[in-house]
Amino acid sequence: MVAFEALAFVFLAGLVTDLATGLGALPFFYVDDVSDRATVALWGVASGIMLAASFFGLAREGLAYSSGLPVLLAAGVVVGIALVEVSDRLLERLDVGGADADVDGSAVSPEIDPSAIAAGDLRTLVLVLGVLTVHSFPEGVAVGVSFAELGLGSGVPILGLTVPPLAVLMTVAISVHNVPEGLAVSIPLKAMDVGEWRMVGAAVFSSLPQPLGAVVAFAFVRVARDVLPFGFGFAGGAMAYLVLTEFVPDALETGRDLPNRGIPAFVLGLLGGAAVMVPLLFVHVGP
């Protein structure tokens, strides 16, 4: 059995990452628009943090817990990438703002109206939450897996529990990564004159599955500790794949009208984000 206190603590960490998504809407409390250059740089920071966390933290941890060939680690990477790909394909079937029409005029994908999400339309919320559960679950898993050694060894004392340094840094990493995602959710809502607090709510809603993913992953690796390398591989593979297939294309699309497509701003953000996670290289890994 996993102690209730530990489960509650991990849920709280996942909730912190979820609430951080709402920070992406805060600029619109003070300005009417966020520059493309700033948005591209923010995507770069998030990408640097996610890639560094995947390689400096999760991959190193997975290798340390592997014996012999890292078969479980590699299997986890493959499954993590597959889940992200499945979620992307599900999202592509949903039309944000109106149903796609075939040549005969018939709708071929469900309609997802961002204003309906902000307004709390139940049908839309249920539909979107189902897709987002698949889409953001790996990020919650990354948080949960990083807490595998919670209370079992050395670490940072927080609320009476010894928290692994990897878990602290991973929670920070996912939280920072969620800010540009919250901004991406808020930009179209701002264009539709949705209120600022509704934008915050919609942004937080978009990452709602993360606390659940964190708890499920933590309970799983605590009970089945032999599969820890799989868990680390799953989280690391999913996060790295997200960066390559979503963050980078989104940044390039946002910066398409900037000099050099905004690549210099993205690269500077990327390097800055990776530098933030350098302390992971000095964190003890393994059992």
Nearest-angstrom CA–CA distance, 149 and 154: 9
Nearest-angstrom CA–CA distance, 50 and 54: 6
Spell out the domain ranges in the chain.
4-282
Nearest-angstrom CA–CA distance, 107 and 100: 6
Query: What's the N-to-C CA distance of the chain in angstroms?
Result: 20
Side-chain half-sphere exposure of 107, counting CA atoms within 13 A: 10
Residue pLDDT, tens place only, 108-140: 334 445 555 555 555 555 555 555 555 677 788
Residue pLDDT, tens place only, 13-58: 999 999 999 998 898 888 888 888 988 998 898 888 888 888 888 8
pLDDT at 109: 38
Query: Residue 116's closest CA among 140, 96, 135?
Result: 96
Largest CA distance in the chain: 64
Nearest-angstrom CA–CA distance, 35 and 205: 24
Nearest-angstrom CA–CA distance, 102 and 29: 39
Nearest-angstrom CA–CA distance, 82 and 261: 30
157 SS3 class = strand
- The bridge status of strand 95-96 relative to strand 111-112 is parallel
Nearest-angstrom CA–CA distance, 113 and 38: 26
Residue 77 near residue 234 (C-beta atoms within 8 A): yes
pTM of structure: 0.75
Ranking 52-61, 82-91, 223-232, 261-270 by mean pLDDT, the lowest is 82-91
